[in-house]
Amino acid sequence: VSRPRVLSGIQPTAGSFHLGNYLGALRQWVALQDTHEAFYCVVDLHAITVEQDPKVLRANTRVSAAQLLALGIDPERSALFVQSHVPEHAQLGWVMQCLTGFGEASRMTQFKDKSARAESAIGVGLFTYPILQAADILLYQAHHVPVGEDQRQHLELTRDLAQRFNSRFGKTFRLPEPHIVKDTAKIFDLQDPTSKMSKSVPAGVVELLEDPKRSAKKIRSAVTDTGREIVYDPENKAGVSNLLVIYSALTGRSVDELVADYDGKGYGDLKKDLGEVFTEFVTPVQAKVAEYLADPAELDKVLARGSERAREVASRTLARVYEKVGF
Ligand code: ADP
Ligand code: NA
């Protein structure tokens, strides 16, 4: 029996992933390997939608792959690859661009956010990026796409494009479903617990590859509120609630259990303990990342095998698409 397919990607831009990436998406990537045929990629084509230093990009692509392996992506079971190694992504991306309305693309809120924050000139690639992402997913006929809440709109675009292609040219693409785990779909910034943790706001971001002492310090100075009660109340206690969600996700203990445990204790205790919990989680991950990076030739071999597996599926889909559009 063939298993349902799963596809997801992550940008190598920052080098280190952050806790929002891990809890919102990457943890699900790892878990879904048990039930799905998985395709996971480091999306370097997406990375050049903003200016990149070529040396840094190449290094960060390896660092990203090393982190995925260290977090539990198993290259024996899953295809782990680099997006630019599979040319079908760019090729299907073009077909999908020709299917997308200009107004439709203009409605993507991530573009509005990113272009408003951009420090240099904005390229068309930043605008069409969700369309390439649609191609990433549709190439593999993915049933499920594990992502954080911020990707929901892009998944809707992907489904719309798949449906449009199917109705214009005949059934070709499976309509993918987002796989969004509600509890951890949006991890908030530690310094501004009303906005999502993101690599573009370094102060409140916990990075997987930074010194855990630095992470513990960031957690200790997380913005909370002037109250003293440790309860889960995202509306009025965004900071404390965010810490409870992270704590719960990293330990597997429920938020209710934690709230009961911390009854009568202060925010300082919660933050100090969470710093330790995070350190315990991340220390072995960092050790494994260092091991993978110590042997770049082996790492490149793993990625080459991954792209071979990915191409088998991607080239089949692209051939059908090309045939249908009249190439
Ligand atoms: P960033 O948002 O920091 O630029 P990416 O866009 O590379 O990171 O996101 C990679 C994955 O991590 C996506 O699936 C995204 O939805 C998820 N993700 C990013 N930030 C968060 C967050 N704060 N909480 C939950 N998931 C997140
Ligand atoms: Na994002």
> Could you identify the atom of ligand 1 that is nearest to the CA of residue 151?
16
Q: What percentage of residues in the chain have a pLDDT greater than 90?
A: 94
pLDDT of residue 112: 84
pLDDT of residue 201: 78
d(CA 282, CA 249): 13
Say which residue the tokens 């995202």 belong to: 234
C-beta of 198 in contact with ligand 1 (< 6 A)? yes
Residue 120 has pLDDT above 80, yes or no: no
pLDDT of residue 111: 86
pLDDT of residue 127: 94
C-beta of 24 in contact with ligand 1 (< 6 A)? yes
pLDDT of residue 69: 98
Q: How high is the mean pLDDT of the chain?
A: 96
Residue 87 has pLDDT above 90, yes or no: yes
Residue 44 has pLDDT above 80, yes or no: yes
55, 171, 186, 196: the active-site residue: 196
d(CA 255, CA 247): 8
Q: Can you name the residues that pair with 179 across neighbouring β-strands?
A: 146
pLDDT of residue 203: 85
C-beta of 218 in contact with ligand 1 (< 6 A)? no
| Residue 82 contacts residue 44 (beta carbons within 8 Å) | yes
- For the chain, how far is it from start to end, CA to CA, in angstroms? 34
The residue whose CB lies within 8 Å of the most ligand 1 atoms, and thus the one to mutate among 6, 21, 144, 199, is: 21
- 233 C-alpha to center of ligand 2: Å? 25
| ipTM above threshold 0.85 | yes
pLDDT of residue 266: 96
Q: What percentage of residues in the chain have a pLDDT greater than 70?
A: 100
Phi and psi at residue 32, to the nearest 5°: -70, -10
Look up 112 and say whether it is catalytic.
no
pLDDT of residue 19: 98
pLDDT in tens, 161-212: 999 999 999 999 999 999 999 999 999 999 999 999 998 777 899 999 999 9
Span 137-163, mean pLDDT? Answer: 97
Residue 160 has pLDDT above 90, yes or no: yes
Q: Can you name the residues that pair with 82 across neighbouring β-strands?
A: 42
pLDDT of residue 262: 97
Residue 121 has pLDDT above 80, yes or no: yes
Nearest C-alpha neighbor of 258 from the set 284, 279, 235, 277: 277
Indicate the length of the chain as a whole number.
327
Span 84-92, mean pLDDT? Answer: 98
pLDDT in tens, 213-225: 999 999 999 999 9
Residue 83 has pLDDT above 80, yes or no: yes
Span 314-322, mean pLDDT? Answer: 98
Residue 110 has pLDDT above 90, yes or no: no
* pLDDT band for position 229 (cuts 50, 70, 90): very high
pLDDT of residue 13: 94
Look up 237 and say whether it is catalytic.
no
Residue 23 has pLDDT above 80, yes or no: yes
| Residue 146 contacts residue 6 (beta carbons within 8 Å) | yes
Structure tokens at 107: 């409605």
Look up 265 and say whether it is catalytic.
no
